[in-house]
Structure 1
Amino acid sequence: MIINTKYLGEIDIKKERIIKFKKGLLGFENLKEYVILNLPNNEVFQCLQCIKDPEVAFIIINPFLFFKDYDIEVDNEELEKLKISDKNQLALYNIVTIPKDIKKMTANLLAPIVINVKNKLANQIVLENTNYKTKHFVYNETKEVNENVSSK
């Protein structure tokens, strides 16, 4: 299946890679199908690309690469909605905002994206009773991540 993307132009993806969001992303509730794309020469950041609208794409991270103490609990109701019966089926991502001054890059730790990697169902959840915010600076954590990735 050929799709147009914001960062990689026209690409061919397999339909089984499409992730279906039950409610869409916050602010993009009407767009429910996305694919995760690897970015060239980058082992840390990925792109969550909308299938239907090439201009809708989000840079995402595995939060545990940057925030070692990131600790959230996905409630049972959410796990049931996504048909997650085993924690190994769960993948977690966070959207990052990268301004011109990269030192001001932030990650939204308050509203992670939860994906069932087996059946490709997903939701963006908003955490309750937490100190996490929509903007956590990433730059302070970047040096350690770069050193870890380079040592592989």
Structure 2
Amino acid sequence: MIIETTWGPLEIDERDVFHFSKGIPGFAAEKDFVLISNQDDPFQYLQSTREKYVSFLITDPFLFYRDYEFELQPAEVDELKIEDEMLVRSIITLKDPVEKSTINLLAPIVLNPKLQIGKQVVLHTSKYGAKQELWNMNGRENARDVGSFT
């Protein structure tokens, strides 16, 4: 399957497409996404398969916040049909300068890699925010050494 991206056409395997039954908040019409990544890069793109301009820079939040934790509601576990395996990603907002970039820990993207379904879950009780510092210079010991965008 060929999809259009802002970088040009990209061939993907249809088995790699994640279905979001309700879309992503603010992008309800976009239901199907694929993860695009480089092997050694801690950052990925969540790219719409239908609209080339809908793409989110994402990462594993545990790389930046080791103590990050949240609890899925039973209805969300059922909706995602999670039994034993899930992937958690968070959307990054790039800023200028890049050191001011933020990560959304309030609404993680939860993926079921076995069934290729996903959902952005908005946490109703969380000590984290939607605009956490990506690189917390004061609490750097909290993050793993993941490099930078350079």
TM-score normalised over the length of structure 2: 0.89
Question: Residue 150 of structure 1 aligns with which residue?
Answer: none
Aligned partner of 2:125 among 125, 129, 137 = 129
TM-score normalised over the length of structure 1: 0.88
Q: How does 1:1-152 map to 2 (within 5 A)?
A: 1-6=1-6, 8-39=7-38, 43-86=41-84, 89-140=85-136, 141=140, 144-146=144-146
**Preserved CA contact (<8 Å) 2:65 2:143:** no
CA distance in structure 2 between the partners assigned to 1:114 and 1:144 by the alignment: 21
CA distance in structure 1 between the partners assigned to 2:80 and 2:124 by the alignment: 19
CA distance in structure 2 between the partners assigned to 1:100 and 1:4 by the alignment: 27
**Preserved CA contact (<8 Å) 1:47 1:60:** yes
RMSD: 1.8
**Structure 1: runs of 5+ lacking an equivalent:** 148-152
**Preserved CA contact (<8 Å) 1:25 1:31:** yes
Q: Indicate how the Cα distance of structure 1 residues 144 and 114 shifts in structure 2: closer, same or farther if over 3 A, else same.
A: closer
Q: Which has the higher helix share?
A: 1
Farther-moved stretch of structure 1 (138-147 vs 52-61): 138-147
